[in-house]
Structure 1
Amino acid sequence: MSTGSKALDRPIHQWLSDIAAGKLRLPSFQRGEAWDRRRIESMLRTIVRDLPLGITLVLEVGDQEQFHSRPLATAPETNTKVTEHLLDGQQRLTALWRALKDNYEDRTFFVHHPLLDEDPQNDGDEVDIWSYSRWRNKARQIMPRWTEDPEQTSRRGLVPVRLLDPQIDDDVNRWVEEATAHLKPKPDEHTDVNELYAAMERHQARQKFLKEEVLSPLRETVKHYLLPYLNLPATTPKSVALDVFINMNTNAKPLRAYDIVVAEVESATGARLQEMIDKFVGQFPRLAEFGNIGDLILQTVALHQDREPNKSGFFGIDAHRLVSEWPETCRGLEDAIDLLSRLRIWDAARLPTAVAIPVVAAVLVRAPKDGDGRGLIEHVVRKYLWTTFFTGRYDGAAATRAYADARPLLLFAAAPTKEGAARLETEVPVFDRNVYPLPNLRALQAAAWPAGKNSLARAVLATANYFGARDFADDAPLTDANVTRREYHHLFPAKLLRDAGIEANLALNCGLITWRTNRAIGRLDPIKYLKARTDAAPTDQTVEQRLHSHLIPAGALQDAGPYPTEVVGGDLEALVRPDFERFLSERAAIVERAMQLLCDGHTPELGDVLNRS
């Protein structure tokens, strides 16, 4: 989008005048000062040597400020109409302002001029910037004392940077007088006239040198030094201005959209968003398992306020609504996480796509808390979740697509009816099976290893976990308490398949089991391991039931093998491949039936899937 921005120059004296008058201010989302003394020295050195300095970003202010603002550090608070917001360049302009005003409490800056310095070891070709730490003693005197003494500083070749401030004149003359006072003749009745004239000439020559050869050129350089800036007109949309700011920000830790919203909310309402979030997470710690909490919350708020869940949408959030509707937002997120828990998805590591969470949360914010309407909405939301998991709709342009899916869902949530639910089939883009078909058997068999971030692979694993995923050995079901301790296990051992030259890392070859069980299996043929488990189980059917809880076709696994250890290469492949392909085919068929039921919004029982096999 074209903003009509212009690259311009402005002399330092004008920058300082605008800061002092309160015409140029900082948006409230800007962080505080960050430059150390080396970076300040470097900038001042660049200016006094009249070398180029980096560009600054300014946004014109029209009739009304787009952002809440504040003065630069130590600049006065005035009632003057604000004409510009400083979007980028805060550090250099703040450092320039404070160095020229000499109001750093712990440091003072000087220009070192080699022709002034009486120490021959400090002779040089160029002026430089030196700075010194300072403090106050018990008597509140500034230390070291010599830094406040014009005579001593001038003898060291040092001129206070504050004397280069274009807004002062009297201080310059006063400093020159004090710096040369020791040279001023003090005649008495015994003073030789020639010596008196010679002393007067030395005094005047030193004053002239300080004024005309040192201070005047430096002051002129600083006063007229052109600081380049990019000007954004007042018509620039708020979201565009913020986007430009974020892209230009060069701090070691650049601001995120979240940081800007936090500052804007506090400036507009006085509410501290980060503290609100911390309190919510303290009360509902499960939210932290699903990724970046700040982003999840802003995405939910943006969708609830009918905005896209991205930077552009964040920058348009109504801060007052965010604060007033905070309890409803928290409830929506709690309900969304509770719903995922009922699907046996407890963390981001096993979530097919996090994009869906804010959509569900925003829908549940608007939904009735109970009754038939609530049941209808949860049916639709389950359908939405599983469909997004399996179609990969959010693998690209996620925010825009989530917003398109959310709009009809949000309207439906406010007044849920069976007729409205039926209309969603054509109104919610992700429900269009012609555009976003569910994966076929071949796609399910080719799905990658689910420990990665592939959404289809994770969807396959989530489907397998949905029915309990009981451990092969100890029979413990998968729960939120043990899910992070489970391991991704190759049902046909990875080493066996690698030895046979067959791809092992497939979603259908994966099951979550305990690490002890995983270690016990090793390279054992599936039939050998399962026979050992069957011998140890209370009944012959126990191990089969455990396998079925993972949607594993027990027969295809139990019939595999044996594979003698002395068989290798092509001979091993000839033995293993038919068994493995049968296993993949049968498990894909079971997962497909479960997928179809889940993607239709149902809550199937294990028998609903297995009895049709």
Structure 2
Amino acid sequence: MALDSPKLQDVLKQIHSGVMQLPEFQRNWKWDDQRIRELIATVTLNYPLGVVMALETGGEAQFRARPLAGVQVEGLPEPSALLLDGQQRLTSLYQALYLDRPVETVDDRGRELTRWYFMHVGRAIGSPADRDEAIVSVPEDYRVPSANGRGVALDLTTIANQCAAGYFPLNIIFDGKRLSRWRSAFEKADSANEDLWAEFEERVVDNIKSFLIPMIRLDATTSAVAVCSVFERVNTGGVPLTIFELLTATYAGNQAFEEANRDYYKLPDAWTDIKKGLATAHPVFGNIDLSIENGLTSSDFLQAVALVRTWELKQHRPSTAISCKRRDLLALPLQDFIDLSPRLRDAFDWVGHFLSDQCIVSFTDLPYRSQLVPLAAVRAILGEDANEPAILALIIRWYWCGVLGEMYGGSTESRFTRDVEQLVAWRDDRSGVPDTIAEASFVADRLDKLSTRNSAAYKGVIALLIKQGAHDWYYTEDPLTAATLGQYAVDIRQIFPKQAQVRLGIPLAMANSIINKTPLSERASRSMNTQPSNYLRVLAAEAGRRRSWYDDVVRTHLIDPAALHRDAFDRFYNDRKQQLLKLVQSAMGKTTLAYEEQGASPR
């Protein structure tokens, strides 16, 4: 690493020629008009601009490069430096002071503007405190409209007009010939302008021409991981970059791949193909019409790849840690990603079928997206062994312990590692169980507090109700399935609806608990607008069933129909709570704790 202080003019030349470019992961620039004028004022006063940072190219860190906004050079060369920090400042100065094109910017409300920047010669030689006021931006046609919009307040379309008004065009500051012609025209416009220009040249022009840019240069030997880490630390004012964006730039700059394939590697295209295939086959992975990152994300996929890669490395080097932390993703070689991504794509396809078997078919009903990462990694490692009955039974139990024990609600990377290692190890040594199974617990009165989809356990209990064979109360013939959930517009409905709650004085907390909810079709819900004793007769008649037969349909939701026929809410609530607890215990393969505090049920 070295500290340098090149002249602004030299840096802008490097940008213009393509010798200095941006790494692909840098986002597009656009500073607002006010900030550009303030930046120009800083330079004209020779005030400190702040350090910028660049990376020398040709080393280990191979990033695909692109020119700064505004650069238009045919046959762009390979850059010798990549700008890591200072893009906004240098792009603003490049466009405003170097290009013979107006600057594309925005106003303080974010509306698009196209502007030229001028400095009033007379005001510029006044007090430094007023320097900002000397700098103006004018529209692309060089005409500033009057306040009422009916005329032109300032016309700078010609050099004569500019000289008469005293406004110097800043974009010619480094063009010696044009600067000389403008100066000559200005001095001829008024006899007093010669002395005025001499002072302007000393206080403004010379400052700009001699302005130095403090620059930290990172050696070409700096690793890609270090470059990305440095960039994120210095890029505090921007939107944080994702791992995916950083890897996109790294993979695109892989020269070996580009030479072998006559094109650079396009990670976004590869991910889009994978995600479209998965989401089309399994809606639980998200809706690609909303965003390619809706639901299962590129980061999830990369983490699963990293888990499999580090697991395989560990088989040859036992000291290797199974991990999918940020550093592991940034260090993921392109060839390893290319080799492993088809296996992980197939593994996530298996996960989609697995979730459908658990009656989880939409992303909104997915308890934990994060739990899919180790699940896919385990399937990729185990291969077809994951379908062996004993192993699959353990995976199912592990999954439900994670959901109902709410084990994936906090920091998950360390759990990813343990789950992958322990689930895979169980194939060969079945003496114990993974930590997620051993540590998971479900307190009995948790059911009283589950009331919204914000909870993974809430979604899990609903899925288990469907999985154990719940029938709809209107379409009564067969149990609900993954296919009929959408077909029947199944949603979570209250068993004692609002009218019954008011009539029977049911406490709000109990009315909103999952104990008073169940998955039913939109059609069934239309008839459930009164107390159960009334709507059950209506639903039975609509289904063409006798009461005794219809009661069997009600029981498929783990509900005592006799309690509903009597509108006996307390009896219904306590009985169903016990049945749901048995359902949870069966899925987790362990008993629940009684209550968080000593005492009975809430009412």
Normalising to structure 1: TM-score of the pair?
0.72
Query: How far 1:89 moved relative to its partner?
Result: 2.8
How far, CA to CA, are the matches of 1:62 and 1:113 in structure 2? 41
**1:336–1:357 contact (8 Å) kept in structure 2:** yes
**1:59–1:234 contact (8 Å) kept in structure 2:** no
Query: How far 1:251 moved relative to its partner?
Result: 7.6
Q: 1:115 to 1:298 in 2, by over 3 A?
A: same
How far, CA to CA, are the matches of 2:131 and 2:15 in structure 1? 35
Q: 1:124 to 1:338 in 2, by over 3 A?
A: closer
Matching residue of 1:463: 464
Q: 1:161 to 1:589 in 2, by over 3 A?
A: same
Q: 1:418 to 1:113 in 2, by over 3 A?
A: closer
How far, CA to CA, are the matches of 2:498 and 2:327 in structure 1? 46
Please state whether the residue corresponding to 2:342 is helix, strand or coil. Answer: helix
1:136-285 correspondence to structure 2 within 5 Å? 150-165=159-174, 169=176, 171-180=178-187, 202=191, 206-210=193-197, 212-223=198-209, 225=211, 238-239=224-225, 242=228, 245-246=231-232, 249=235, 255-268=241-254, 269=257, 270-284=264-278, 285=280
Query: How far 1:155 moved relative to its partner?
Result: 2.3
Of residues 499, 512, 516 in structure 2, which corresponds to 1:505?
512
Please state whether the residue corresponding to 1:474 is helix, strand or coil. Answer: coil
Matching residue of 2:436: 430
Please state whether the residue corresponding to 2:475 is helix, strand or coil. Answer: coil
Superposed CA deviations along residues 266-300 of structure 1, whole A, max 9, x for unmatched, are 33352323333333344441445431443332333
Matching residue of 1:439: 442
Query: How far 1:180 moved relative to its partner?
Result: 4.3
Query: How far 1:47 moved relative to its partner?
Result: 3.5
Please state whether the residue corresponding to 1:109 is helix, strand or coil. Answer: strand
Superposed CA deviations along residues 81-100 of structure 1, whole A, max 9, x for unmatched, are 43xx4334312211212322
Please state whether the residue corresponding to 2:303 is helix, strand or coil. Answer: helix
Is 2:491 aligned against 1:487?
A: yes
**1:382–1:598 contact (8 Å) kept in structure 2:** no
Is 2:545 aligned against 1:538?
A: yes
Is 2:366 aligned against 1:351?
A: yes
Please state whether the residue corresponding to 1:439 is helix, strand or coil. Answer: coil
Is 2:94 aligned against 1:94?
A: no
How far, CA to CA, are the matches of 1:326 and 1:583 in structure 2? 45
**2:18–2:78 contact (8 Å) kept in structure 1:** yes
Matching residue of 1:567: none
How far, CA to CA, are the matches of 1:576 and 1:105 in structure 2? 73
**1:59–1:241 contact (8 Å) kept in structure 2:** no
**2:474–2:524 contact (8 Å) kept in structure 1:** yes
Query: How far 1:533 moved relative to its partner?
Result: 4.0
Matching residue of 1:570: none
Amino acid at match of 1:66: A
Question: Structure 1 residues 476-485 or 240-249, which shifts more?
Answer: 240-249
Amino acid at match of 1:157: G
**1:309–1:399 contact (8 Å) kept in structure 2:** yes
Query: How far 1:333 moved relative to its partner?
Result: 1.4
Query: How far 1:524 moved relative to its partner?
Result: 0.8
Query: How far 1:218 moved relative to its partner?
Result: 1.2
Matching residue of 1:112: 119
Q: 1:509 to 1:115 in 2, by over 3 A?
A: same
**1:114–1:126 contact (8 Å) kept in structure 2:** no
Matching residue of 2:53: 58
How far, CA to CA, are the matches of 1:544 and 1:468 in structure 2? 15
Stretches of structure 1 lacking an aligned partner (at least 5 in a row): 118-122, 136-145, 184-201, 564-574, 600-613
Query: How far 1:329 moved relative to its partner?
Result: 2.6
**1:18–1:24 contact (8 Å) kept in structure 2:** yes
Superposed CA deviations along residues 184-235 of structure 1, whole A, max 9, x for unmatched, are xxxxxxxxxxxxxxxxxx4xx644532x212332123334556678888989
Query: How far 1:248 moved relative to its partner?
Result: 6.0
Matching residue of 1:448: 450
Please state whether the residue corresponding to 1:368 is helix, strand or coil. Answer: helix
Please state whether the residue corresponding to 1:512 is helix, strand or coil. Answer: strand
Q: 1:469 to 1:593 in 2, by over 3 A?
A: same
Of residues 31, 34, 51 in structure 1, which corresponds to 2:27?
31
Stretches of structure 2 lacking an aligned partner (at least 5 in a row): 104-113, 125-129, 143-154, 258-263, 286-294, 311-321, 593-603
**1:447–1:456 contact (8 Å) kept in structure 2:** no
Query: How far 1:334 moved relative to its partner?
Result: 1.1
Matching residue of 1:139: none
Matching residue of 1:577: 570
Superposed CA deviations along residues 333-369 of structure 1, whole A, max 9, x for unmatched, are 1111111111111122112211111222222233334
Q: 1:592 to 1:492 in 2, by over 3 A?
A: farther
Query: How far 1:380 moved relative to its partner?
Result: 3.8
Query: How far 1:161 moved relative to its partner?
Result: 1.4
Please state whether the residue corresponding to 1:325 is helix, strand or coil. Answer: helix
Amino acid at match of 2:270: M
**1:116–1:155 contact (8 Å) kept in structure 2:** no
Structure 1 vs Structure 2: percent identity of aligned residues?
19
How far, CA to CA, are the matches of 2:520 and 2:164 in structure 1? 79
Query: How far 1:37 moved relative to its partner?
Result: 5.2
**1:35–1:91 contact (8 Å) kept in structure 2:** yes
Question: Structure 1 residues 234-243 or 149-158, which shifts more?
Answer: 234-243
How far, CA to CA, are the matches of 1:511 and 1:99 in structure 2? 64
Is 2:296 aligned against 1:296?
A: no
Is 2:563 aligned against 1:559?
A: yes
Amino acid at match of 2:83: L
Q: 1:163 to 1:218 in 2, by over 3 A?
A: farther
How far, CA to CA, are the matches of 2:565 and 2:92 in structure 1? 75
Matching residue of 2:292: none
Q: 1:116 to 1:493 in 2, by over 3 A?
A: closer
How far, CA to CA, are the matches of 1:318 and 1:125 in structure 2? 49
How far, CA to CA, are the matches of 2:196 and 2:344 in structure 1? 70
Please state whether the residue corresponding to 2:301 is helix, strand or coil. Answer: helix
Instruction: Give 1 or 2 for the bigger CA radius of gyration.
Output: 1
Is 2:376 aligned against 1:361?
A: yes
Is 2:405 aligned against 1:391?
A: yes
Query: How far 1:152 moved relative to its partner?
Result: 3.8
Aligned residues: 525
Query: How far 1:170 moved relative to its partner?
Result: 5.4
How far, CA to CA, are the matches of 1:497 and 1:391 in structure 2? 30
Please state whether the residue corresponding to 2:491 is helix, strand or coil. Answer: strand
How far, CA to CA, are the matches of 1:542 and 1:245 in structure 2? 68
Query: How far 1:153 moved relative to its partner?
Result: 2.6
How far, CA to CA, are the matches of 2:586 and 2:387 in structure 1? 28
Please state whether the residue corresponding to 1:220 is helix, strand or coil. Answer: helix
Is 2:584 aligned against 1:596?
A: no
Please state whether the residue corresponding to 2:519 is helix, strand or coil. Answer: strand
Please state whether the residue corresponding to 2:306 is helix, strand or coil. Answer: helix
Query: How far 1:46 moved relative to its partner?
Result: 4.5
How far, CA to CA, are the matches of 2:418 and 2:46 in structure 1? 54
Query: How far 1:305 moved relative to its partner?
Result: 2.8
Query: How far 1:471 moved relative to its partner?
Result: 0.4
**2:84–2:231 contact (8 Å) kept in structure 1:** yes
Q: 1:506 to 1:218 in 2, by over 3 A?
A: same
Query: How far 1:68 moved relative to its partner?
Result: 0.6
Query: How far 1:34 moved relative to its partner?
Result: 3.0
Normalising to structure 2: TM-score of the pair?
0.73
How far, CA to CA, are the matches of 2:23 and 2:38 in structure 1? 26
Q: 1:289 to 1:580 in 2, by over 3 A?
A: closer
